[in-house]
Chain A
Amino acid sequence: DGGITQSPKYLFRKEGQNVTLSCEQNLNHDAMYWYRQDPGQGLRLIYYSQIVNDFQKGDIAEGYSVSREKKESFPLTVTSAQKNPTAFYLCASSIGLRGARTYEQYFGPGTRLTVT
């Protein structure tokens, strides 16, 4: 059963702690993405990776870090430097960049992070 998994669905942390959100895909996709969504808002791109061992900052990368050591996995760490970490975090993947064509992205179920 192919797809994208994110765990856990709900996560609670104390302010000042780093926290890592998991994202795994078994779709054999090259590209993976992390988005953040705040209540009533659209999605904002945090980081993306088009290939293993490479990633680029999105629009709101400050206070976040990622790694891409395996094709299947793209974990996101929310550091204590992120000033407003409470949000809904979405991971996505796509086949990747193939010339001028952009392939659709498939999203995981999301992780709702609450920092108090």
Chain B
Amino acid sequence: DAKTTQPTSMDCAEGRAANLPCNHSTISGNEYVYWYRQIHSQGPQYIIHGLKNNETNEMASLIITEDRKSSTLILPHATLRDTAVYYCIVRARTGNQFYFGTGTSLTVIP
């Protein structure tokens, strides 16, 4: 199963764009990239996912490189409520398990 690598922590000023990188160099052709976030002591929240095209929804944008070996989650205007741990996940090849790593702890600073 493809693994992901994310920075341990990041800061972002309130109102600015938060760009969270993820490396997944061993991703297979049919594997999707998913992003979740977890606010302290709550269940993870689904944000967005994609296969190879860039995706955008009301929460965020997902930019996937052409070789699909890395991606970036963009929160266009970060607020204090976006402070959370962000997980980049690549779907398992079999079944529908999701493997969560330790993610990136994003702190939005006033």
User: A residues engaging B (CB < 8 A)?
Assistant: 4, 31, 33, 35, 40-45, 48, 50, 56, 58, 88, 90, 92, 94, 96-97, 100, 102-110, 112
**Closest partner residue, chain B, to A100 (CB atom):** B30
Are the C-beta atoms of B87 and A42 separated by less than 8 Å? Answer: yes
Name the A residues within 8 Å of B45 (CB-CB): 107
Interface of B: prevailing SS = loop
Show the binding face of B for A, using Cβ within 8 Å.
30, 32, 34, 41-46, 49, 87, 91-92, 95-103
A76: min CB distance to chain B, Å = 14
Give the secondary structure class of A's interface: strand
CB of A103 within 8 A of CB of B96, answer yes
User: Contacts A104-B46, A107-B45, A109-B42 known; A97 to B96 CB distance under 8 Å?
Assistant: yes
CA gap between A43 and B12 in the complex, in Å: 25
- In Å, the complex CA distance between A96 and B95 comes to 9
Given known A42-B87, A50-B96, A100-B30, contact A106–B102 (CB-CB < 8 A): no
CA distance in complex: A8, B61 (Å): 35
B44 x A58 contact (CB < 8 A): no
Additional pairs, 17, CB under 8 Å, beyond known A43-B100, A102-B32: A4-B43, A33-B97, A42-B102, A42-B103, A43-B44, A45-B97, A50-B95, A90-B43, A90-B44, A92-B44, A96-B96, A97-B96, A102-B91, A102-B98, A107-B43, A110-B42, A112-B41
